[in-house]
Amino acid sequence: EALRRLGVLKELRDLRGEGRDADALGRAFAAARPEVVFHLAAQPIVRTSYRQPVETFAANVMGTVNVLECIRTSDTVRSALMVTTDKVYENKEWPWGYRENEPLLGYDPYSASKSCAEIAAHSYRQSFFAGSGVRLSTARAGNVIGGGDFAPDRIIPDCIRAAVRGQVIDIRNPHSTRPYQHVLEPLSVYLMLAARQAEDAALVGAWNVGPDDADCVTTG
């Protein structure tokens, strides 16, 4: 609906399906013949992952593997970016940020599934894409805020819903420091990474995407 209001639908080819359906995804790739692939589809809610761990792993791991396999068998893809999360790292509870070479060991089902997705992407990069014409990277973004986000368990939508209902907002982890960033910031990085790595193979790898340390704040 948002794209319709912007008047850009006529410039887009809208193919919809389920990422866990490898056959449907393969047909979409065959129809679109993409040169650049961005994979952002996921089951993204931590609390949902506790209630539905199997579905979460299926969506976040096998959904990613299905996309990677479509890229592997494509003769058109030249650049691809798999978007995961900064929760892929083992949580050391330390006050400084994590580097891209820290251990991948997410605890909860959501974080663990994204750690697995990172490992799958690394495997495909080393096994199939090294030395080929396909450039594959992963982007590990922190908390993203912005318009159009109505999901539960997100700080801005939860605050707005509480204000509209006249309720007191329940902050589950008020002392947790998170790297909040507006959605346009990581999107600009994703576009830049996909374009730059297509020209320079040295940029292929894993990338943290987040604000400066000074802009990381506690949730409460």
Average pLDDT along the chain: 92
Tokens of 178: 């998170």
50, 89, 98, 110: the catalytic one is 110
Locate the domains of the chain by residue range: 2-214
Return the closest-CA partner of residue 39 out of 176, 196, 193, 158. Answer: 193
Q: Compute the CA torsion angle 92, 94, 99, 101 (nearest 10 deg).
A: -30
> For 7, left (φ over 0), alpha (ψ -120 to 50), or beta?
left
Question: Could you tell me how many residues make up the chain?
Answer: 220
Question: For residue range 22-64, what is the model confidence (pLDDT) as tens digits?
Answer: 999 999 999 999 999 999 999 999 999 999 999 999 999 999 9
Query: Kind of pairing, strands 206-209 and 135-141?
Result: parallel
Tokens of 203: 């940029």
> Which range among 78-82, 117-121, 136-140, 163-167 shows the weakest confidence by mean pLDDT?
163-167
| 110 is a catalytic site residue | yes
- Of 78 and 162, the one with more pLDDT: 78
Fold (topology level) of 2-214: Rossmann fold (3.40.50)
Its pTM stands at: 0.88
- What average pLDDT does this structure show over 8-14? 82
Helices (H), 91-183: 109-124, 155-165
Cβ–Cβ contacts within 10 Å for residue 69, how many? 18
Q: Band of the pLDDT at 191, cuts 50, 70, 90?
A: very high
Q: Band of the pLDDT at 220, cuts 50, 70, 90?
A: low
